[in-house]
Every structure is written in C-alpha cells, then in structure tokens.
Amino acid sequence: MNESRPTPATLLLVDDDPSIIQAASRLLSDFGRCRFARSAADALRLLRQEPVDLVLLDAEMPEMGGLEMLSLMQKASELAEIPVVLLTSHRDEATEEAAFAAGAVDYLSKPIRPGVLRARVNTQLRLSRALAEVRRLSRTDPLTGLSNRRAMQEWLERELLRADRQNAPLSVLMVDVDHFKAFNDLYGHAGGDHALIKMADCLRQAASRANDDCARWGGEEFLVLLPDTDGPGAMAVAQHLHRALAELAHPHEASPLGQLTASVGIATLEPLSEERAAALRAAPVQDRIEELLGRADAALYRAKAAGRSRSEIAES
C-alpha cells in the first residue's frame, strides 16, 4: 500500500541576497510553497500575517540579524513554536552555540550543499508535523474530538483579552446533558459515550463560525465560547442546539422527555463604559473568567430547575 503524501508545507526564506533565495526556492519547491523576505523586519511582518511550517533564516543581514530576529520570535507566543534553521557563513563553534541558544532547531553553514539542505528541511518538517500532532492531541478530548478543558481555558483567556481590546461582547454557553446518569444506567457506558459524541456533533452545528469553539468541560458538561456575540446572539446559538437535538431524536427512555436533550446556561460580557472597563481590566484575567463561568453555571442551574431542555441567560 502506498503511503499518502504529506500535506505541502509553507516555507519562509529570509536572506538579503536574492541569489540565495532563488537557489533555495528551486531546491525546495517540491516541499510546498516558498515565500521570501529580504529583511528580518519584512519576515516578522509576513509571519504575523500567515503562519509557516519552517523558516530558513540568514544570520547576517543589515539592520537586524538572524539571531536578533530569533530572539524576537521566541518572545512572541504566536511565533515561538515556528521552527527556524539558521544559515550562516561562519563555521565556528561559538556561532553554532549562539544559534541553538537563540532558539534555532538546526544550523547550516554557507555555501549550502543542496543535498544537505533538502535532507535537513525534510527532517525538520517531519519533526514539526509530529510535534503539531502531539500538541493537537494534548488539547483535544479523545472521545468527542472537541477541545479539552485545558485548551478551552487558553481560548477563554485569549478571547477575553481580545474582547477588551476591541470593546466587543463575548458569550459562553454552559451545556449539560439532561438525565445523563439515568441514561448511562439504562444504556451502559458505551451507549453513554455514543450519546456524548452525538451531543458534540450537535454543538458543532450550533456553533459553526470559524472563531467559535466547543469543549468537553467534564463528564457530560460542555462549554461553548462565542466571541463577538451578545446575549441575544448566544440565545440564538442555544436555540439552534435545541433544534439540532430535536431533529436528532436520540432515544432516552429514562428521561421524561423521551429523547436526548440538554440544558444551557448563557453568560455574556457586554461592552462597557471606559470607566467600568478600566476597573474590570485591572482584575486578574482568571478571576474574570471564573466570574463569567460562575454566572453561566447559575443560569444552567435555573434551566434545570425550570424543567430542563431549555436555556436561561445569566443576570448581568
């Protein structure tokens, strides 16, 4: 059986010598798409516009050298994990040590030998894909394929800070499968797992925008993060979830409702006046996240107390 070809990579070649860029582009074209920059400043701008799989970086450039650019990348969370191979005309041990100390994953001396360059790039791309898969698995719930609690915590912090900067609303849905213990008792744990997978599918249908995120928060509880979404918008997503579950009509004979349903608590951070926003932003981010989730949880409790298979919005 033939192995599937790896997904084409995107490489960024950074060198002030156009002949080096042209030669490297020809040598590496079959690995994927090659972008290029003639300075470190241009390279950093390109990296923030579009992620790449590997950077080939000249160590000696005017204005900002490769080691300085590496240092800046290491300080930026969105760039720190991009692998960088440093290219230099120096062959001394001190330069090599400095390259690895700055964060380079490999080091090549000029003039570049074509076979060595291709072999090193191939190795680093394979390692990068393997590490990316490890990171993905560490952030994914293995049963449902949704984000796990750890990943959602990171998304919550990032999106809350972004909402602050843009003075935009942010909403969360706390979702709990109704009568799930009774479901497990009747259908067994395999049946319960299947029901959770179906619930995850319905959540994906309801929260389908690119920047929405759904996570398995724990057991039969899920959390949905809705950036740029106010209370009515969040309620619309919750109602979409209820409709998706009704259409699914997954049997639940241990429930008074006869099929799989969920209760939802909604909480929203609305845009605030400058004075109120400044006071809130002074609080630790984690405290504000806990307050938001606490309000969603209280709304979820009200939804359950009111008969389940419904949504409630938290008080502001």
Which two three-digit tokens encode residue 80? 């720190």
Residue identified by tokens 């309801």 is: 206
**pLDDT of amino acid 274:** 66
On whether both 89 and 131 belong to a single domain, the answer is: yes
On whether both 285 and 164 belong to a single domain, the answer is: yes
Number of domains in the chain: 2
Identified catalytic residue from 93, 220, 221, 312: 220
**pLDDT of amino acid 275:** 61
> Domain range spanning residue 100?
9-137
144 falls within a domain: no
CB contact set of 301 (below 8 Å; sequence gap of 6+): 265
**pLDDT of amino acid 1:** 40
**pLDDT of amino acid 186:** 96
**pLDDT of amino acid 273:** 59
**pLDDT of amino acid 270:** 81
On whether both 68 and 195 belong to a single domain, the answer is: no
Annotated active-site residue 220? The verdict is yes
**pLDDT of amino acid 283:** 74
28 falls within a domain: yes
How many other β-carbons are positioned within 10 Å of the β-carbon of residue 90?
15
On whether both 45 and 89 belong to a single domain, the answer is: yes
**pLDDT of amino acid 180:** 97
DSSP 158-199: HHHHHHHHHT--EEEEEEEETTHHHHHHHHHHHHHHHHHHHH
CB contact set of 41 (below 8 Å; sequence gap of 6+): 63, 64
**pLDDT of amino acid 279:** 63
For the chain, which residues score pLDDT lower than 70? Answer: 1-6, 272-282
On whether both 102 and 155 belong to a single domain, the answer is: no
